[in-house]
Amino acid sequence: MATNSIPSFDLTTLGREVWRQRRQGLLVLGLAVLSGAGVSLLLPVKYQAVCTLSPAPSATDRLRLGGALASLGGQLGLDVGGARTQLRFYPRLIDSYWFLSNLARAPLTGDTTIFQLFEGLPPDTTRPDYNRRMDAVVDRLRKVVGVELDERGNVFTISVPLSSRSMALAAIEKSVALITNFDTHVLRLQASESRRFVEERTDSARADLLQAEDSLTRFLAHNRTYDQSPALTIQYQRLQRLVALKQDVYLTLSRNLEEARIQEVKEAPLLTVVDPPRVRWRRSEPNRRNVVALFLAGGIILILTRAMFPPSPTVVL
């Protein structure tokens, strides 16, 4: 009959067992280090490009609070009297399908695109599987494109890791161009809706004023002695009041139009490049020290496990 005895041990016993198996342990550690170094050399290398931007607050985003409330907010570290910006909007913009798909299609170095890097072929909208491939590329970009917010400093940093420094730099420059393009064309269009409405009303008021003045001119041309007739005098006064009314409306709208144009410029978002696009010299991936340390930790765990549960001698009776 064969019986297996389960040994009981403490730290002293564990240390003795590790020392007894030191040769095997050193061999395991050496193999772990070599395996980790080999795997770290096989992993794809990536370089990270970064850029820091600061959105300027619009005029209507100012929160005017003062006195005791502003003092209390300052003691608590809150910018109560400062500006509320669209800082939190930009991570959502960068995570959007519009932004990532345009970034994937944009040529970086030559005709090479991120779509081609990920899928191995250039973007071709005529392919039947183009939408599926673009969705896959956008999902991968969502995982690698990073955004860090600093609300106290009112800045955000965007980072893009790619396989070469030149492509990473081109990708971050294209990202900044896309954000600026969105601010200039999309948000500014929303800010100019009021100006366009006032401009249309001003053109209409100008036409009404010219029409009223033409009516008064024709009346005076056909009725040079209107003051001798009460009916013609009343008609003249009516036309004169109409011209004065149309003139007041036109002048008011003209002033409002100038104010709307000034307000449009104030409301238009403005991005300030705090830290221009640059590529970090050290590679971002892989971190070979961490990979080797992970394999080394696995080797140590294997050594300790073997020392805690050594093979039990088999006794045959």
> What is the CATH classification number for the domain harbouring 141?
3.30.1890
What spatial distance separates the first Cα and last Cα of the chain, rounded to whole Å? 6
Does residue 147 fall inside a structural domain?
Answer: yes
Are 75 and 59 in a shared domain?
Answer: yes
Tally Cβ neighbours within 10 Å of residue 145: 20
Does residue 92 fall inside a structural domain?
Answer: yes
Please give the pLDDT value at position 43. Answer: 65
Are 141 and 201 in a shared domain?
Answer: no
Structure tokens, 231: 């009916």
Closest by alpha carbon to 145, among 109, 113, 166, 171?
Answer: 171
Are 89 and 106 in a shared domain?
Answer: yes
Strands 47-56 and 270-279: antiparallel
Element (H, E) at 314: none
Structure tokens, 213: 């003045």
Are 29 and 110 in a shared domain?
Answer: no
Tally Cβ neighbours within 10 Å of residue 40: 17
Coil/strand/helix, residue 281: coil
Please, what's the largest Cα pairwise distance for the chain? 147
- Cβ neighbors of 208 (< 8 A, separation 6 or more) are 246, 249, 250
Does residue 86 fall inside a structural domain?
Answer: yes
Helices then strands (H, E): number in the chain? 12, 6
Q: How far does Cα 19 stand from its chain's mean position?
A: 56
Question: b/e string for 175-206 if b means 16 or more Cβ within 10 A?
Answer: bbebbeebbeeebeeebbeebeebbebbeebe
Does residue 146 fall inside a structural domain?
Answer: yes
Number of domains making up the chain: 3
* Phi, psi (degrees; rounded to nearest 5) at 205: -65, -35
Are 61 and 135 in a shared domain?
Answer: yes
Are 246 and 186 in a shared domain?
Answer: no
Are 182 and 114 in a shared domain?
Answer: yes
Does residue 4 fall inside a structural domain?
Answer: no
- How many Å apart are CA 142 and CA 97, to the nearest integer? 9
Please give the pLDDT value at position 73. Answer: 47
What is the chain's Cα-based Rg? Answer: 37
Are 183 and 89 in a shared domain?
Answer: yes
54 neighbors 276 (Cβ within 8 angstroms): no
- Cβ neighbors of 242 (< 8 A, separation 6 or more) are 212, 215, 216
66 neighbors 281 (Cβ within 8 angstroms): no
Please give the pLDDT value at position 284. Answer: 60
Structural domain containing residue 199? 194-266
28 neighbors 313 (Cβ within 8 angstroms): no
pTM score over 0.75? no
According to DSSP, residue 152 is labeled: T
Does residue 177 fall inside a structural domain?
Answer: yes
Are 156 and 71 in a shared domain?
Answer: yes
Are 123 and 57 in a shared domain?
Answer: yes
Does residue 2 fall inside a structural domain?
Answer: no
Does residue 128 fall inside a structural domain?
Answer: yes
Q: pLDDT tens digits, the chain, 317 residues: what are they?
A: 445 555 555 677 767 777 777 777 778 778 877 877 777 666 666 788 999 998 876 554 544 444 444 454 444 444 444 444 577 888 898 999 999 999 999 888 778 888 988 888 888 888 888 899 999 999 999 998 999 998 888 889 999 888 888 888 999 999 999 988 887 776 667 667 778 888 899 999 999 989 998 988 988 888 877 778 888 888 888 988 999 998 999 999 999 888 888 777 766 667 788 888 888 777 766 666 776 788 778 878 877 777 676 665 554 54
Are 55 and 180 in a shared domain?
Answer: yes
Q: Identify residue 86 by its one-letter amino acid code.
A: Q
Are 302 and 241 in a shared domain?
Answer: no
